[in-house]
Amino acid sequence: MARLDFNQALHRATARNYIERVVSDDKAECAEIAGRFGADYWDGERRYGYGGYRYDGRWRPIAERMAAHYGLKTGDRVLDVGCGKGFLLYELTQAVPGLAIAGLDISDYAIAQAKAEVQPFIRLGSATALPFPDASFDFVVSLGTLHNLELPDAHAAFAEIERVAAPGGGKYVMVESYRNEREKVNLLYWQLTCRSFHDPESWEWLAARAGYTGDMGFIYFE
């Protein structure tokens, strides 16, 4: 299990006022609304989530690096677990034309608002019970999703990702994490939907217990 960083540079590009996040609004109410993963979370006010999640090409460099690292090629089968509006999936098809893609998300709103080119390939569902046969995909990716699950469900999701990946295929899971007390506090202040809070070593322990053999990535709230 290797640690790979595809996302931290993009994560740093967003300015965050951690203290304001806790004192400017009723944080519990905001988290409850965000946890519905509806319009407020994706395209509502910033206090409820993204504050407007629109396609702007920011995922292209990440898709290109992933495609190069995992050697993706035309005809490969790719699954994005927790794909949201499908922006990464779209960029992967631009980086490697001819991929056979699939996406899954728990938000019917996100799927309805997904990028038109990939929307037909996205279905509603949970990471804990992926609706695909064993060994269905040459590459399975999940960015910023598994930390939104309680511990037993996160364990199940790791096992499901392992199950649907073909032998020898690539697997990459990125979650929110922390390396020190400051980053842990910042994560607690900023997060709205996170349910599992672990340092990288604990995440890797959980993944290994679930039988997951892929790579891991972490973003930190510095």
Give percent of the chain with pLDDT exceeding 90.
96
∠ Cα 59 60 66 (to 5°): 90
For 70-81, the pLDDT digits (tens) are 999 999 999 999
Our measurement of the distance from residue 25's CA atom to the centroid of its chain's CA atoms, rounded to an integer in Å, reads: 26
What are the structural domains, with CATH classification, of the chain?
8-13+58-220 (3.40.50.150)
| Nearest by Cα to 37 from 138, 115, 144 | 144
pLDDT band at 13 (very low <50, low <70, confident <90, very high): confident
- What digits encode the pLDDT tens for the residues 102-160? 999 999 999 999 999 999 999 999 999 999 999 999 999 999 999 999 999 999 999 99
Q: Please give the C-alpha separations between residue 105 and each of 69, 82, 163, 201, in angstroms, as whole numbers.
A: 25, 4, 18, 27
